[in-house]
Each structure stands twice: as C-alpha cells, then as structure tokens.
Amino acid sequence: MLYLFSYSDLNHSLFIFLALFFVLCYEAINGFHDTANAVSTLIYTRAMSSNLAVIMSGIFNFLGVLFGGLTVAYAIIHLLPNDLLLNGSSKQALAMVFSILLAAILWNLSTWYFCLPASSSHSLIGAIIGIGLTNALTTGSSLVNALNIPKILNIFVSLVLSPIIGLIISGSLIFLLRYISNKYKKFNKIHMTPLERKQNDGKKNPPISIKIALILSSIGVSYAHGANDGQKGIGLIMLVLVSIAPVNFLVNLNASKKEIIYTKNAINDLDKYYSNDYFQIIKKKYKNNKLYFNYINIIKNIKDTQNLLNHVYDYNILNIQQRFQLRHFLLYISENIDQITNSNISNNEKIFLYKIKKNILITVEYAPIWIILIIALALSIGTMFGWKRIVVTIGEKIGKKRMTYAQAMSAQITASVSIGIASYTGIPVSTTHILSSSVAGSMLADGDQIQKSTIKNIILAWILTLPVSILLSSFLYWIALFLI
C-alpha cells in the first residue's frame, strides 16, 4: 500500500490519502446506515440481543466483502466512460473523486440523521451521473456520450424494480407460510409477535426452530449486504486509484503469466470469431454503414492489442503509455462484446463470448487484497456504530403493530436471496429499499396496516436520492473545477 505514495510529491500523496479516507468514511457510514436491514428483525423479534446481533452482522458483512467478488465494483466504475477516467488532468481527477464522495456522504448522513432508510447505492450512482453530466456541459461535449448509458439504464431498472420485486416475493412467502400453518397447526406460532408469544406461552424468546431460522436469514442479509455494498467501496477505491495514480493501477501489474496468456488467447479467439462468414457478410453488405465502421474499429483494436501484447508476459515491462493503450483496447473490446451478445446470436455464441470477455478483463477488473481488506474492515466497524436510528424506523414505524416471526423471516429471506443474486450477476441494488419493501410486503400480505407517513417518507427519500445526489455532485464538481 505504501508504494502509492512513493512516486508522488507531498501534495499529491496527501490528496491520495484524503481520497482513500473519504472512501472509508463512505463505507463506514454505509455500514451503520444499512446495518438496520440485517439486525432490526432480529432485535424486534427478540431472537438475539441488539449488541450480539450487531457484532454478528459486522462479522458477516466483513466476510461478504472478502468473498463477494468484484462484478458490482466494476459495474460502478464503468458508469463513467473510460475516456473521462483516463484523459483528464490529475487536478480534474481529484475534483471528480472528491465531488462524488462528498455528495454521497452528505446525503447518506442527512437521511441517517432523519432516521430515513435511504439508499447508499442511489446516492453513489447519482453522484457519478452528476459528474458525467457536468463534465459534458463544461467541456461542450455530447451529453449522450457523457455516461455509459447502457450500464446506467440496466442499473436504474434494477434499482427501481428490486423494491417492487422484494414486496411481491415477501408477501408471497407470507401466503405460503399461512398455507403451511393452516395445514400443520404446530407451525401456528410462527405468526405470533413477541408480545403474543409472552402472553400465550409466558416466554420471552421465539421457539428455538424459529430463532435459528431468523438468525440464519439475518446472516444471509448481512453477508449479501457485504458482498453488494462492500463491492461499491472497492469500486470507489479503484476509481480513485485509476484516476489519481494511474501508473500503478491501469492494469494489474501483479498479474501472473498464466492470466496474461488467458488474455492473449482470448484476443486471438475473438479475432478468429470476427473472421467467420457472418462478419464477412457485414463487411461486404454494409460497407460505409455504421455497423461496418464498428466492425472495422473492433478489428483494428484487436490487431493493436495483439501487437501490444506480443512477447509480453509481465505488464511491468510496459511503459505508462502502453498501459493506457492496453486498458483502453481491452475495455473497448469488452464493450463491443456486450453489443454483440445483445444482438441476434445463438446461445452457444453468447456463452463463448461471455468466457472470452471474462478472460479479456481478468487483468483489468481486479483489486489488490489490501483494498478488499480495508473496505471489509470499514464496513464491519461502521456496522457496529450508529445503527439504532434506522433500526427503530424499520422495527417500529413501518407497520402499526410489531412484526411477527413470519414477517421478519419472509423479509430477510427475500432480501438475502435478492441481494445475493444481484451481487453474483454484478448489479448494484439497494439493500435498504429491498428490506424495507419486503417488510411492508409481508405486513400487507398478513392484512396488517402500515404507517402511511413512514412509507411516504421512505418513498420520498427513494425518489429524491438520485436527483439530489446528481445536483449535489454536479455543484461540487463545478465549484472544484472553477477553483482549480
């Protein structure tokens, strides 16, 4: 880690340190802002004491970051066009990074202060969008090219639909549990609240089987949260390092000879794929067409990459310009593969291209282990502080009565599975909104009334987070560019 500062002057080193510190602050705030999603149901069903629940959540958030992969991390990075990351000056890169981080932190702290379960994901993505738009306006470039529109649309759809899906699935699980308990009377206790359990059975805690199910589903939420939201922190640090200290982070300088060979073989296989009959038809039939020029550009990039990597088995021998070129070539080729897989090709071709893309990006989409560890620590430590404000909102203010064991379990199972799938597929989703909507869905399915004022506030925060964070980061970035 110390090598970050070995090639920089004092001011540059200080800015790198501050940027990393801001990322860790964002991730710690994310921890205590979103901890309620995993522990509120445990605490309010008395399945576990609050202190023990928070410690357990911190541990599994840590493990989630450690083993969650990097697909979400690079979904965040690729929201901004590669040219914006690499072609600006170091001062512009600093302005961009600090504006993103400060906007996301300010909004997250504001919603936490007012006890609103708002989305850290929304605030981060909104801040990144604001930077892209402001950069386009200040440079006079096209707004269409200011952002990676396909990536943003995919993420936007997932952020909008995931709470709705959470509400539906959680409500469906309640109907399933009702069916089971009606058929097998011994399961009726699952629909009790802790107060009803004490009145009917004289016991404070839930039955042992229900308690275990609640704890396991809460572990699932914590682990899934770490895997998804932790990756956003990893993505932020890589965004910082690629922007501010590109010489060491454009490509993985610690990539093994085997990984580099995988990349070279993938490029060669793709070259053969583009030489097949289908692409020859494009070349002849659509000459001077946009599709034809796209074909010419991708072939040129493949040839340039092959020439650049010829006899290269260690990226350290590449100079800084060659590293810039290699990153640009590989990301351009990857984006082109995405376009092809969305076209009318066979499933076998899609599988083939998916493997090709994975090997092409193996030395570009990476993160050093020290980054993963410090993000895991920041998230897990943040989990153990400041969690009470949001816990009260989820535990007491969504429904008009305390949640039942079944409602808590349904919400947690829905959240852990949904977020886990999103993490595996590389989609950044809002843990907060999935869990909140799952709690509401389970209560509505049970015929319980919900507190409309709380739901209105949560929806208002949901609606405002993106536009506010876009405007906030845009304003901060504009001020920063003016000052430098």
CA distance 65 to 232: 10
Supply the DSSP string of 327-340, one letter for each residue: HHHHHHHHHHHHHH
267 and 306 in contact (C-beta within 8 Å)? yes
The pair of structure tokens assigned to 71 is: 């697909």
Three-state secondary structure string covering 68-118: CCCHHHHHHHCCCCHHHHHHCCHHHHHHHHHHHHHHHHHHHHHHHHCCCCC
Collapsing DSSP states into helix, strand and coil, what is residue 345? coil
Contacts 24+ apart (CB under 8 A), 149-154: 150/338, 151/75, 151/78, 151/79, 152/79, 152/125, 154/427
> Token pair for residue 344?
């009318």
C-alpha closest to that of 367 among 467, 480, 279, 251: 251
pLDDT at 17: 84
* Cα–Cα nearest to 470, from 132, 162, 22, 155: 132
Are 146 and 136 in contact by the 8 Å Cβ rule? The answer is yes
3 state SS of 360: helix
Give the per-residue pLDDT at 484: 67
Residue 399, beta-bridge partner list: 450
Q: Give Cα 440 to chain centroid, integer Å.
A: 24
Query: Distances in Å between the alpha carbon of 381 and those of 1, 28, 237, 326, 461?
Result: 21, 7, 18, 37, 25
What are the φ/ψ torsions at residue 33 (nearest 5 degrees)?
A: -70, -40
Contact 442, 171 (CB under 8 A): yes
Q: Environment class of residue 73 by beta-carbon count within 10 Å: exposed (0-12), middle (13-18) or buried (19+)?
A: buried
How far apart, in Å, do the first and last CA atoms of the chain sit? Answer: 28
* Whole-number Å distance between alpha carbons of 124 and 22: 13
CA distance 256 to 361: 14
Q: Between the CA of residue 377 and those of 63, 77, 233, 366, what are the distances in Å? A: 10, 21, 11, 19
Rg of the Cα atoms in the chain: 24
Q: How open is the CA angle 401-403-405, to the nearest 5 degrees?
A: 145
Helix (H, G, I), strand (E, B) or coil at 282: helix
- Tokens for 292, please give them: 């034809």
**Cβ–Cβ < 8 Å for 210, 192:** no
The DSSP element (H or E) to which 391 belongs, if any, is helix 388-396
Residues of the chain by 3-state class (helix, strand, coil), percent to 5: 80, 0, 20
Mean per-residue pLDDT pooled into runs of 10, the chain (484 residues): 56 79 87 71 80 87 90 81 65 82 88 74 86 81 69 76 87 88 80 81 84 88 86 87 83 93 93 72 58 74 92 92 91 83 77 90 92 92 71 59 82 87 78 79 76 74 85 91 76
DSSP state of 404: P
